A and B are shown apart, each in its own frame.
Chain A
Amino acid sequence: MIEIDGLTKRYGDKTAVDGLSFVVEPGVVTGFLGPNGAGKSTTMRVIAGLDRPTSGTVRVNGKHYPQAPAPMAELGILLDARSVHPGLSARGNLLALARTAGIGRRRVDEVIELAGLGEVAGTRAGGFSLGMGQRLGVAAALLGQPQTVVLDEPVNGLDPDGVRWIRLLLKSLAAEGRTVFVSSHLMSEMAQTATRLVVLGRGKLITEASVEDFTGHATTAGVLIRTPEPVRLGQLLAAPGITVTNDGTDVLRVSGITAEQIGTAAWRAHLPVYELTPTHASLEEAFMQVTRDSIEYHAGATR
């Protein structure tokens, strides 16, 4: 479990994270979303104790992480920037980390296999591709079988096979009762993997919700209508606050009005309707919408 309470982090006069509070529960995958510069990586660095909070507290599994007696049992972290020694092999990098917690070679070989690095384990990490580097970073995060796993953009640079691997890995970690907190800018990926979301914009919490709630409440959620009279029905529904789009086929996409209202209106106008389906916004649309709001809000506030 990760508990963040009133976290503020400033670098000089730049505020990277501003009064952030949220909880990441164990047992589910929690996605961490936000545009570039929203403060995701800063938050993760503070969780790992690499950066000190300007104010506020961060607890990992109920403890202050820098004082945890067995840190690798508490937290495994993959940071966005590379954090391996290019002069050491994959195995050498992992072994050096493992030694600090008395973890043996067998576990090191285990995570090497798990991450699919078996063939390059003895190769110097300096020559690794981005994808290989990511796999090595994930292997390092899993080394101590930590209770909480924090991964910053784990699918960055991974091939489709690797993306699938991460997806299954995150779900199985959560199923084991671990806390899994993962940031990504790939919304579609997050929609398939995460159960809960924490959305950040300009260093502030925008929302903390389940993926379902997040996409369901976004105002771009709408209704799909299939009708032989798309033009007439479109004109009938057009009103302020309601958007109607028609791509020239018999399908209309309408937002700002419920399926019930559409059905009643169509029935009254004697317009046939073959299909009437409420749609959720894609996570990507929902995300764009909430973050756009936050950016406008802040831009207005600073002038």
Chain B
Amino acid sequence: MSAVMETRPVSAHKAPAPVTVAGPVTQIRVVRSEWTKLRALRSTRWSALSAVVLIVGLGAAIAGSGTAYHISAVNSAAKGVSAALLGVLFAQLVVGVVGVLTFSGEYGTGMIRATLAVVPARLPVLWAKLVVLTGLVLPVTLLCAFADFFTATALNSARGGSVISLTDPGVLRTVVGASLYLTVVVVIAVALGALLRKTAAGLSVFAAVFFVIPIVVNALPHKITGFAPYLPSNSGGVLWGDPLSTTNALSPWTGFACLCGYAVVLTGLAAWRLRRRDA
């Protein structure tokens, strides 16, 4: 260490604080920022379009083929609507990808560093991402679910099936429930992306929880599948009558509350990790 020089800095240049255009960070501003990103990305438009096609298109295809649906003692009006909402199962994959990518995409490209450097408090970024995504998924899927309902029921009655009305028992809950289900799914997906940071990991876990585990559990002997109704896809599926879910142990809103519980816990963990860990 021969060349250590003990020199203190030269006297500070005493100038008035330089002008700046930057204002304080507010939650609303961070929401606008996240909306700017989401709106400008091509993947957002493709995802929204594919959700429409999957839900409405598949519903029309189901209602327009096979035998027309007739309401009976075992086949309720709501059950018929649920069958036409089969596309929700595929749309949830789209919603999951969009949700996971919200954070994992930024970690993957490095943009997260720019994002968190301008919002060093960090948590506003998580809240903003949740606001813009739920604000996009809720109206889009609500529109899809209603479009699906009107198309499918019109096709069904035109083909000689029963006339199904929104006022029939459980029908409105089923239609709105499909949209609510997908909205909570996107929250879970955002939290998974923030927690795992890697797109591959986030999507794997998402697919495992919503597609693989429910199928595996269905194949297991009944004695050890007591938890099956509490799986996210099953608990949330009760609200809109997921046609593939065979467990109906929970009431619709209890099941939905259970799904929301998962979303809250995962979001809490994501917030904790976002605050505590290096970006």
Q: Which residues of A contact B (CB under 8 A)?
A: 1, 23, 25-28, 45, 48-52, 65-73, 75, 77, 79, 81-89, 92-93, 95-104, 107, 140, 143-147, 174, 176-178, 195-196, 206-210, 213-214, 217-219, 286, 289-290, 293-294, 297
B106: chain A residues at CB < 8 Å are 85
Q: A103 and B23: CB pair below 8 A?
A: yes
Instruction: Name the contact of B24 in the complex, choosing from A70, A178, A208, A289 (C-beta under 8 A).
Output: A70
Of A79, A95, A103, the residue contacting B22 (CB under 8 A) is A103
Which residue of A has the minimal Cβ distance to B25? Answer: A100
Q: Is the CB of A107 within 8 A of B37?
A: no
**Residue contact A87 to B3, C-beta cutoff 8 Å:** no
Binds A, one of B80-88, B117-125, B155-163, B220-228: B117-125
Q: CB of B113 within 8 A of chain A?
A: yes
- Which residues of the partner chain B approach A146 to less than 8 Å between Cβ atoms? 20, 22
Partner of B118, one of A27, A72, A84: A72
> Looking at the complex, which one of A23, A92, A196 makes contact with B40 (CB distance below 8 Å)?
A92
Let me know if B117 and A217 touch, CB within 8 A.
no
Whole-angstrom distance between the alpha carbons of A45 and B120 in the complex? Answer: 12
Interchain CA distance A294-B34 in the complex, whole Å: 45
Our pick among B18, B40, B41, B111 for the contact of A177 (Cβ within 8 Å) is B18
- In the complex, chain B residues whose CB is within 8 Å of the CB of A140: 114
Out of B2, B16, B22, name the residue touching A293 (CB < 8 Å). Answer: B2
Cross-chain contact A145 with B113 (CB below 8 angstroms): no
Q: How far is the CB of B267 from chain A (nearest CB, A)?
A: 21
Which stretch (B4-12, B89-97, B176-184, B255-263) binds chain A?
Answer: B4-12
- Closest B residue to A148 using CB positions: B18
Output the nearest chain A residue to B34 by Cβ-Cβ distance: A96
Q: Contact: A81 with B110, CB < 8 Å?
A: yes
Which residues on the A side are within 8 Å of B37 (C-beta)? 85, 88, 92, 96
Chain A residues whose C-beta falls within 8 Å of the C-beta of B112 in the assembled complex: 83
Which chain B residue shows the least CB distance to A49? B120
Q: Assuming A84-B114, A87-B41, A218-B3, is B29 touching A100 (CB within 8 A)?
A: yes
In angstroms, Cα B17 to Cα A213, docked, is 29
Contact of B18 among A23, A147, A208, A214 (CB under 8 A): A147
* Sample of 21 A–B contacts (CB below 8 Å): A25-B10, A28-B10, A50-B279, A51-B279, A71-B119, A72-B20, A79-B113, A79-B114, A83-B112, A96-B40, A98-B33, A99-B36, A100-B25, A100-B118, A104-B21, A140-B114, A143-B22, A146-B20, A146-B22, A177-B15, A294-B1
Choose among A23, A96, A146 the residue with the greatest number of B CB atoms under 10 Å from its CB.
A96
Contacting A101 at CB < 8 Å: which of B41, B42, B116, B118? B118
Q: Which A residues are in CB contact (< 8 Å) with B114? A: 79, 83-84, 93, 97, 140
Within the complex, what minimum Cβ distance (angstroms) separates A246 from chain B?
Answer: 26
Rounded to whole Å, the gap between the CB of B4 and the closest CB of chain A is 6
Residues of A within 8 A of B19 (CB): 145
Chain A residues with CB under 8 Å of B9's CB are 23, 25, 196, 208
B109 at interface, CB cutoff 8 A: yes
Contact call B25/A71, Cβ cutoff below 8 A:
yes
Known contacts A88-B37, A89-B40; decide if A101 and B23 are in contact (CB<8 Å): yes
Question: Which among A70, A210, A217 is the interface contact of B25 at CB below 8 angstroms?
Answer: A70
List the 8 shortest-distance A-B pairs measured between CB atoms, nearest first: A27-B13, A177-B15, A144-B22, A72-B22, A99-B33, A66-B120, A73-B22, A49-B120
**Contact in complex: B23, A84 (CB < 8 Å):** no
What residue in chain A is nearest B125 (Cβ atoms)?
A100
B21 to chain A, nearest CB (A): 5
Residue of A nearest to B41 (CB): A87
B-chain residues with CB within 8 Å of residue A96 when the two chains form the complex: 33-34, 36-37, 40, 115
Cα(A77)–Cα(B112), bound, Å: 13
Residues of B within 8 A of A83 (CB): 109-114, 117
Q: Is the CB of A26 within 8 A of B120?
A: no
Using Cβ atoms and an 8 Å threshold, which residues of chain A touch B273?
none
CA distance A195 to B12 in the complex (A): 13
Alpha-carbon distance A106/B131, docked complex (angstroms): 27
Cβ contact within 8 Å between A65 and B15 = no
Give the distance in Å from the alpha carbon of A69 to the alpha carbon of B23 in the complex: 8
For residue A110, which residue of chain B has the nearest CB? B21
CA gap between A97 and B119 in the complex, in Å = 9
B194 at the interface (CB under 8 A from A): no
Given contacts A51-B278, A84-B109, contact A100 B119 (CB under 8 A): yes
Q: Output the least CB separation between A300 and chain B (Å).
A: 11
Known A-B contacts A50-B278, A85-B37, A196-B9; A70 and B22 likewise in contact (beta carbons under 8 Å) = yes
CA distance A70 to B119 in the complex (A): 9
Within the assembled complex, what's the spacing in Å between the Cα atoms of A84 and B106?
9
Interface contact B10-A178, CB-CB below 8 Å = no
Residue of A nearest to B44 (CB): A87
With contacts A217-B3, A219-B2 known, what are 8 further pairs, Cβ within 8 A? A45-B278, A83-B111, A83-B114, A87-B40, A87-B105, A96-B34, A102-B26, A290-B3
